[in-house]
Amino acid sequence: MKQDILERYGDARLPRYTSYPTAPRFSPEIGAGTYRDWLSRIDGAEPVSLYVHVPFCRSMCWYCGCHTTITQKDQPILDYLDVLKREMTLVAEAMRHRPKIATVHFGGGTPTIMEPSEFLDLATHMRQHFDFTDATELAVEIDPRTLTAEMIEALGKAGTTRASLGVQSFDPKVQKAINRIQTAEQTLDAASGLRAHGVTSINFDLIYGLPHQSVASAIETTRMAIAMRPDRFAVFGYAHVPGFKKHQRLIDETALADASGRHAQAEAIADTLKQAGYRQIGLDHFALPDDSLSLAAEDGTLHRNFQGYTTDACNTLIGFGASSIGRSKHGYVQNDVAIGRYAQSIATGLLATAKGYRMTPDDRLRAEIIERVMCDFSVDLAATCRSHGVCVDTVLDGNAPLRDLLTDGIVTLENDILSMRGQERFLVRAVAACFDAYLDQSGRTHSKAA
């Protein structure tokens, strides 16, 4: 990769495009009444997915960009779980049909911060209001440092099929710099215990661009993780946005790599994983060849949502909990971020929707183009536009950013088919951004493109 190309595009701050339009476009004009209407119009024949946000941790990891609260007490968690169950009841009552559930994803925070009995009680409550089938996938994000044998057993009893373990880095110097001390032994014990209790797919999260991280330490962490043979890896670039996440101010900015250094770390991790037999999926995921994510990438059915790359093809995602985001064919909704305001809304019998976005026909067209670019590194622009009833010139005319990418050889455009070669694929977010009609209007700082 030419250094000037990396310098020109690598430092650009762009969305991760886990949705389109992205969250900065959400508006308070979409509230609880609109969401209730959208819920009532969900087709009962279509399966839906659920996301459950648990915004609590025992300690703060300084790199974290999630909505979470630090607590050493259990009562706030117990109170929150009561509100969660009430919200699930309200949502179920607003729907005309009892939906079949394709996937459930518990995110955080640390979902496993609750007691095992509380997790089982929450899972039972969900099953009382929504139809789970033998094919329903249940995924849980896990902090191996606090995972107990009793919680592993509860996850198995609840029917957990997929677990995502936070690793980030095994380098002690990096761990100290991000306030997350975690041994390889803790990680291995967690993965082994989960497998023994029926969790059939294990994912590890790794991060590059952390303070004091080097190519050598990134490779060493990756090799140690590979030895535990998880089915998937998600490899993210650290997004340093101390203006939005004040705890990131505790990170030494002088210890962060520049765009070239970040790119070298990302490439080193990717090369190490591919040499070990993992296939690269989209921008930042890796999976074993027989994993469902690999198979979806091969047959063109890969999707992207708020959890990253996924095989979940549901048009409807119902979000529960403070700050959670939901999606339907009509648009997006997001609950109040503040736990207190979220709980107050639910206590009064109202849905906690604080903002959202109503999709337009142009949004749906651009969302499909961006998703295919992010998933396949290629899209037939003419065919996609035709399926939405518009001419391809709708997305090509006046598209100066795309012309620049074409001139620099980052993309090709032949017979209206846009494609990226392997060497430039790490800049896929820059390509997706060419079709973002709102990018310059958000005023928000995103993570670096590379």
Q: What is the pLDDT of residues 99-112, one digit of tens each?
A: 999 999 999 999 99
CA distance 449 to 381: 23
CA distance 330 to 361: 10
Same domain, 1 and 118: no
Query: How much is the pLDDT for 2?
Result: 59
Query: How much is the pLDDT for 244?
Result: 87
Classify residue 306: in a domain, yes or no: yes
Kindly report, residue by residue over 156-169, the tens digit of the pLDDT: 999 999 999 999 99
Structure-token pair, residue 265: 């770390």
What range defines the domain where residue 443 resides?
A: 1-17+360-450
Largest CA distance in the chain: 61
Query: Cβ neighbours of residue 36 under 8 Å, at least 6 residues apart?
Result: 94, 351
Q: Is the pLDDT of residue 343 over 60?
A: yes
Alpha-carbon distances, residue 145 vs 67, 95, 113, 155 (angstroms): 20, 39, 11, 16
Q: Where are the beta strands (DSSP E) in 112-262?
A: 131-142, 162-168, 201-208, 232-237
What percentage of the chain carries pLDDT values higher than 90?
Answer: 89
At 440, the pLDDT band (50, 70, 90 cuts) reads confident
Over residues 256-279, mean pLDDT: 95
Q: Is the pLDDT of residue 250 over 50?
A: yes
Classify residue 72: in a domain, yes or no: yes
Residue with tokens 């536009």: 385
Over residues 301-328, mean pLDDT: 95
Classify residue 329: in a domain, yes or no: no
Query: How much is the pLDDT for 57?
Result: 96
227: helix, coil or strand?
Answer: coil
Query: How much is the pLDDT for 10?
Result: 64
Over residues 306-323, mean pLDDT: 95
At 266, the pLDDT band (50, 70, 90 cuts) reads very high
Residue type at position 181: I
Query: How much is the pLDDT for 168?
Result: 97
32: helix, coil or strand?
Answer: helix
Query: How much is the pLDDT for 230?
Result: 98
Classify residue 351: in a domain, yes or no: no
Domain limit, last residue, from 270, 293, 320: 320
Q: Is the pLDDT of residue 233 over 90?
A: yes
Kindly report, residue by residue over 180-228, the tens digit of the pLDDT: 999 999 999 999 999 999 999 999 999 999 999 999 999 999 999 999 9
At 422, the pLDDT band (50, 70, 90 cuts) reads confident
Over residues 345-362, mean pLDDT: 98
Same domain, 279 and 396: no
Spatial contact of 307 and 107, defined as CB atoms under 8 Å apart? yes
Spatial contact of 92 and 126, defined as CB atoms under 8 Å apart? no
CA distance 380 to 224: 40
Q: What is the CATH number of the domain that holds 45?
A: 3.80.30.20
Q: Is the pLDDT of residue 96 over 60?
A: yes
Over residues 241-261, mean pLDDT: 93
Same domain, 278 and 219: yes
Classify residue 355: in a domain, yes or no: no
∠ Cα 285 312 342 (to 5°)? 95
Structure-token pair, residue 4: 């000037």
The dihedrals phi and psi of 428, each to the nearest 5 degrees, come to: -60, -30
Q: Which of 151-155, 237-241, 365-369 has the lowest mean pLDDT?
A: 237-241
What's the gap between Cα 159 and its chain centre?
22
Spatial contact of 444 and 420, defined as CB atoms under 8 Å apart? no
Question: HSE of 81 in the Cβ direction (CA atoms, 13 Å)?
Answer: 23
Same domain, 188 and 234: yes
Classify residue 75: in a domain, yes or no: yes
CA distance 22 to 426: 20
Query: How much is the pLDDT for 443?
Result: 44
pTM above 0.85, yes or no: yes
At 441, the pLDDT band (50, 70, 90 cuts) reads low
Classify residue 333: in a domain, yes or no: no
Same domain, 227 and 375: no
Same domain, 215 and 364: no
Q: What is the CATH number of the domain that holds 1?
A: 1.10.10.920
Query: How much is the pLDDT for 52?
Result: 98
- Could you tell me the end-to-end alpha-carbon distance of the chain, in angstroms, rounded to an integer? 12
Query: How much is the pLDDT for 259?
Result: 86
Over residues 48-55, mean pLDDT: 98
Query: How much is the pLDDT for 445?
Result: 47
∠ Cα 163 165 170 (to 5°)? 160
Classify residue 330: in a domain, yes or no: no
Query: How much is the pLDDT for 11?
Result: 62
Alpha-carbon distances, residue 15 vs 28, 99, 162, 318, 429 (angstroms): 21, 32, 26, 22, 7
Same domain, 84 and 188: yes
Domain limit, last residue, from 288, 320, 352: 320
Domain limit, last residue, from 298, 320, 342: 320
Q: Is the pLDDT of residue 424 over 90?
A: no
How many domains does the chain contain in total? 2
Query: What is 233-284 written as a DSSP string?
Result: EEEEE----TTT-GGGGGS-GGGS--HHHHHHHHHHHHHHHHHTTPEEETTT
Spatial contact of 142 and 111, defined as CB atoms under 8 Å apart? yes
